Amino acid sequence: EVQLQASGGGLAQDGGSLTLSCAASGFFFDDYAIGWFRQAPGREREGVSCINSRDGKTHYTDSVEGRFTISMNNNKNVVTLQMKDLRPGDTAVYYCAALEPLAWGIATMLRQTDYNAWGRGTLVTVSS
């Protein structure tokens, strides 16, 4: 069973930074796309970023391009989302999710219905 654990959320100031982690439990991201999604209060869940476990390719939604960086560790069991220049609009519950088997073209569409395993969310609050 694919289990994911997101962590690292908290409170940040406008312009500040936070780093989120998504850890795999009992398996490795050998043939997955790992995505980060977020859901702000009263809004639908939206895709933020994803990474290809085979070749390290990354993809970002426009609103975070240049501010967020997704990466995977060498053991392929932790995916990190570094968030810089945070804005109040980034406030949301952040979720990591896995898409397996890997289909990169589908993964980059960042549609939550394509991702078949989800971790619990971690709350990020950015104060102005």
pLDDT tens, residue by residue, 62-89: 999 999 999 999 999 999 999 999 999 9
> Phi and psi at residue 112, in whole multiples of 5°?
-60, -30
Return the ∠ at Cα 104 (arms to 103 and 109), rounded to 5°: 105
Quick one: pLDDT band at residue 26, thresholds 50, 70, 90?
A: confident
Region 101-110: mean pLDDT is 95
Sheet-wide strand order for 3-7 = 3-7, 18-25, 78-83, 68-72
pLDDT of residue 83: 98
> Does residue 2 register a pLDDT over 90?
no
